Amino acid sequence: MNQPKVLVIIPAYNEEGSIANVIRRIQAVAADTGLHIDTVVVNDGSKDATVRVARAAGATAVIDLPFNLGIGGAMQTGYLYAHKNQYDIALQIDADGQHNPHDIPTVIEPILRGESHFVVGSRYVEKTAYRSSAMRRIGMIFFSSLIRLVTKHTVKDPTSGFRAADRRVIRMFAEYYPVDYPEVEVLVHIARRGLTFQEVSVEMSERQAGTSSITPIKSAYYMIKVGLAVLISATR
Partner 1 sequence: MTIFDTPIIYALSILFSLAFVWFVLSQVRKRKLREQYSLMWLLLGLVIVVVSVRSHWLDSLAYLLGIYYAPSLLFLIALLFVFAYLLHLTMVISKLSDRVVRLTQELAIYQQREHAAQPHEKETALHE
x/- site string to partner 1, residues 26 to 45, per CB under 8 A? ----------------x--x
Q: Which is nearer to partner 1, 64 or 203 (CB)?
A: 64
Report how far residue 88's alpha carbon sits from residue 80's, in angstroms, rounded to the nearest whole number.
13
| Among 95, 149, 143, CA closest to 122 | 143
Should residue 140 be labelled a site residue for partner 1 when binding is judged by CB under 8 A? no
**How near is the Cβ of 61 to partner 1 at its closest, in Å?**
5
Does residue number 66 form part of the binding site for partner 1 (CB under 8 A)?
yes
Q: Does 137 bind partner 1 (CB under 8 A)?
A: no
Task: Report the C-alpha gap between 6 and 97 in whole angstroms.
Answer: 19
Nearest-approach distance from CB 84 to partner 1, in angstroms:
7
In whole angstroms, the minimum distance from the beta carbon of 90 to partner 1 comes to 14
Q: Please name which of 159, 130, 142, 131 lies closest in space to residue 220, comparing C-alpha atoms.
A: 142
Q: Where are the beta strands (DSSP E) in 30-81?
A: 36-44, 61-65
Listed in sequence order, the residues at least 6 apart from 198 whose beta carbon sits closer than 8 Å to its beta carbon are: 110, 115, 116, 118, 119, 120
Query: Does 82 participate in binding partner 1 (rule CB under 8 A)?
Result: no
Q: Which residues are at the interface with partner 1 (CB under 8 A)? A: 42, 45, 51-52, 61-67, 69, 73, 76-77, 80-81, 84, 179
